[in-house]
Structure 1
Amino acid sequence: MRTRFEYAHFIPAALGGAVLGLLAPSLALAATLQVGADKTYKAVKDAVAAAKSGDVIEIDPGEYVNDISSIKVGDLTIRGVGDTRPHLKATVPPPNKKGIFVVELGVGPVTVENLEFSGAKISAADGNNGAGIRAQGTDLTVRNCYFHDNQNGILAGDGAMTVEYSEFAFNGEAGYEHNIYVGAGPKFVFRGNYSHHVKSGHAVKSRALENHILYNRLMEEADGKGSALIDLPQGGLSYVIGNLIQKGPAAENKNRIVFYKGEGATNPDLRLFVSHNTFVNDGSPNAAFVHAPTGAEVHVANNLFVGPGTPIKTDDANTMVVDLGNLQTEDAVLVDRAGYDYHLVDGAAAIDVGEALDALLVPDTQYLHPLQTEMRPVVGAPDVGAYEWGVDESTTGDDSTTGDDSTSAGPTGPDPDTTGDEPGDPTQGGSTSDEPTSGGPGGDTSGPDATTGDGPTTGDGPGSPGSDGSTDATAGVDGTDTSPGGDEGASEGCGCRSDAPGGSAALLAGLAALGLAGRRRRRA
Structure 2
Amino acid sequence: MRWMVTTVVLSLWIASLASAATHRVGPGQMYRHPGHVPWDNLSPGDVVEIHWRPEPYRFKWAISRRGTAEQPIVVRGLRNEKGELPILDAGRAATPATQNFWSEARGVIKIGGSDSSGDTAPAWIVVENLDISSARPGQFFLGKSGLTEYAQNASAIYLESGEHITIRNCRLHDSGNGLFVAPAAREILVEGCDIYDNGIEDSIYEHNVYSEAAGMVYQFNRFGPLRTGCRGNNLKDRSAGLVVRYNRIEGGNRELDLVDSQEGTEIRNDPRYHLGLVYGNLLIEPAGVDNNQIIHWGGDSGDPTANRRQLRLLNNTVISTRTGTTVLLKLTTNQQTAEVRNNVLFTSGAGSSFAILDEEGQVQMSANYLKPGWKKCHGTLAGEILASGNIESPDPGFVNFMTGDFRPAATSALRNATVPLSGDPFEILFEPPTPKTPGVKRVPNGPLDLGCFEGL
Q: Pick the TM interval, shorter chain.
A: 0.7 to 0.9
Counterparts in 2 of 1:175 and 1:296: CA distance versus 1, 3 Å: closer
Q: What amino acid is the match of 1:109?
A: W
Specify which of 43, 47, 52 is matched with residue 53 of structure 1: 43
Return 5+ residue gaps in structure 2 as ranges: 68-72, 96-103, 114-120, 140-148, 261-272, 372-393
Other-structure match for 2:385: none
Of residues 1, 8, 11, the one that matches 1:20 is: 8
Give the secondary structure class of the aligned counterpart of 1:372.
coil
Whether the 8 Å CA contact 1:194–1:371 is kept in 2: the answer is no
Q: Which residue of 2 aligns with 1:187?
A: 215
2:74 to 73, 77, 82: 77
CA contact (8 A) 1:94 1:122 kept: no
Residues 202 and 338 (structure 1), Cα distance of their counterparts in 2 relative to 1, 3 Å cut = farther
Alignment of 1:123-138 (within 5 A): 127-138=151-162
- Displaced runs of 4 or more, over 6 A: 123-126
Classify the secondary structure of the residue corresponding to 2:357.
Answer: strand
The code of the aligned residue for 1:259 comes to H
Aligned counterpart, 1:280: 319
| Distance of aligned partners of 1:215 and 1:267 in 2 relative to their CA distance in 1, 3 Å threshold | farther
CA drift of 1:22 comes to: 8.0
1:192 CA displacement: 0.6
What is the correspondence of 1:408-423 to structure 2 with a 5 Å cutoff?
Answer: none
| 1:360 counterpart SS class | coil
| Residue of structure 1 in register with 2:364 after alignment | 322
1:209 CA displacement: 1.0
Residue 20 (structure 1) shift: 2.9
Cα deviation, residue 30, structure 1: 1.1
Which protein has the bigger strand share? 2
Query: Corresponding residue for 1:90?
Result: 90
- Counterpart of 1:149? 174
Q: Deviations over 1:438-464 (max 9, x none)?
A: xxxxxxxxxxxxxxxxxxxxxxxxxxx
SS of residue paired to 2:27: coil
What is the SS of the residue equivalent to 1:187?
Answer: strand
Does residue 223 of structure 2 align to residue 233 of structure 1? no
**Native 8 Å contact 1:288 1:311 kept in 2:** yes
Query: Which residue matches 2:224?
Result: 196
2-structure distance, mates of 1:141, 1:79:
12
Cα deviations by residue, 1:120-176 (Å, 9 ceiling, x for unpaired) = 113699741111100012232111111111111101102131111110111112221
Partner residue, 1:110: 125
Q: How many residues align?
A: 369
Percent of residue pairs bearing the same amino acid type? 23
Q: SS where residue 332 of structure 1 aligns?
A: coil
| C-alpha RMSD over aligned residues | 2.7
Q: Structure 1 counterpart of 2:257, which letter?
A: D
Change (3 A) 1:48 1:269: farther
- Give the 3 Å change call, closer, same or farther, for CA 323–18 of structure 1 in structure 2: closer
TM-score by length of 1: 0.65
Q: Output one character per residue of 1:326-381: Cα deviation in whole Å (capped at 9) or x when no partner.
A: 11125322223233221111222322333222463541211242352222123234
Distance 1:341 1:296, change over 3 A: same
Give the Cα–Cα distance (whole angstroms) in 2 for the partners of residues 102 and 65 of structure 1: 16
Q: Report the 3-state secondary structure (helix = DSSP H, G, I; strand = E; otherwise coil) of the residue aligned with 1:379.
A: coil
CA contact (8 A) 1:303 1:327 kept: yes
Partner residue of 2:189 out of 162, 182, 186: 162
Tell me, which stretches of 5 or more residues in structure 1 are unaligned? 1-12, 221-225, 390-404, 406-524
Question: Contact 2:330/2:358 (CA < 8 Å) preserved in 1?
Answer: yes
Q: Which of the numbers 343, 348, 354 marks the counterpart of 2:412?
A: 348
Does residue 120 (structure 1) correspond to residue 132 (structure 2)? The answer is: no
Matched AA of 2:170: C
1:66 alignment partner, one of 58, 61, 65:
58
The within-5 A match list for 1:350-365 is 350-358=414-422, 360=425, 362-365=427-430
Matching residue's letter, 1:365: F
Task: Call closer, same or farther: CA 1:51–1:35 in 2, change over 3 Å.
Answer: farther
Secondary structure of 2:37's aligned partner:
helix
Call closer, same or farther: CA 1:22–1:195 in 2, change over 3 Å: closer
Counterpart contact for 1:178–1:202, Cα < 8 Å: yes
- Cross-structure match for 1:300: 340
The match for 1:392 is: none
- Which structure's relative contact order is higher, taking Cα pairs within 8 Å and 6+ residues apart? 1
Deviates more, 1:13-22 or 1:26-35: 13-22
Change (3 A) 1:21 1:77: closer
